[in-house]
Chain A
């Protein structure tokens, strides 16, 4: 014969929630979190980009989402267009002297071949070339000169290091806006 429930057991059995309702509330909470995750997927992609030097894997994921894209405005108070643009997040301090501190987000235009030939001195660009010590090849550079032989030379970075010339086809993006 089973013993009668003691006071503690009695209380527990009566405070237990009815299961269907409990499940409904859990479903509601799960739906809320899933909606948040799905809405996050609609935000624009932000690539991790090394500052001038690709020393190792940049902090964070290589392709994240830019949640705050909709709140960005330029100096005139206009929204910054992001459709079809390249969005990057700066990893490292070696482009600080050019107004691109570590952690800043930037928006840039993807360049066509013709546009690459017209790059001016001082233009901030992203090059895409395999990096020895990093899974991403995106690196920021400041253009010095576009040579006639199809190569681009770059200015020294914040730490005074020089960078070798790159082929024009490795220059993929020109930075247009920086969000510090």
Chain B
């Protein structure tokens, strides 16, 4: 009953309602993927909730972000190349989405490769926000790959 009322109330926001719900679902799914990857990579830190220590370890060595990026690329390459997931391929080939992925890659490279070299003090002073930003730029391409574009044909 509660959910029916909430849905009815939200539908007043139409047409933004559907877009908002789809966006929330994709965002939650992508963040769940990133959380899972971090739990696998840093079980001790994650399960002890030592986020500051975890992000310091994560950002200070280029190995961890590199392996996370590789994991994401391998995941997408397997889906598109080996499993022939046409929808995922289409979802990553639209021009604005390509631009968003490239922007994320630039931010990722800046934080994980340039900052340990040229801005180590800043990195060590703010590991949590920078670490969260890094995970966000990983989650964006992941989320985009979950959201295939759909073109409706009028009948």
Contacts and interface: CB of A to CB of B under 8 A. Distances in A.
A177 B155 CA distance: 6
A131 interface: no
A22 to B, nearest CB: 5
A79 B151 CA distance: 10
Contact of B15 (A18, A21, A35, A79): A79
Please tell me the size bucket of the interface on A. Answer: 35 or more
A33 interface: yes
Q: B interface, how many residues as a size bin?
A: 35 or more
Given A42-B7, A69-B21, A22 B150 contact: no
B35 A29 contact: yes
A21 B22 CA distance: 32
Interface in B70-116: none
Contacts of B11: 83
B22 A73 contact: no
A32 B152 contact: no
Contacts of A67: 22, 25-26
Nearest to A26: B47
A150 interface: no
B149 to A, nearest CB: 6
Contact of A39 (B21, B39, B47): B21
A73 B152 contact: yes
A72 B150 contact: yes
Interface string B118-155: 00000000000000000000000000000111111111
Interface of B: 3, 6-7, 10-11, 14-15, 17-26, 28-29, 31-32, 35, 39, 44, 46-49, 147-155
Nearest 5 pairs of A and B residues by beta carbon: A70-B22, A70-B19, A70-B18, A177-B152, A83-B14
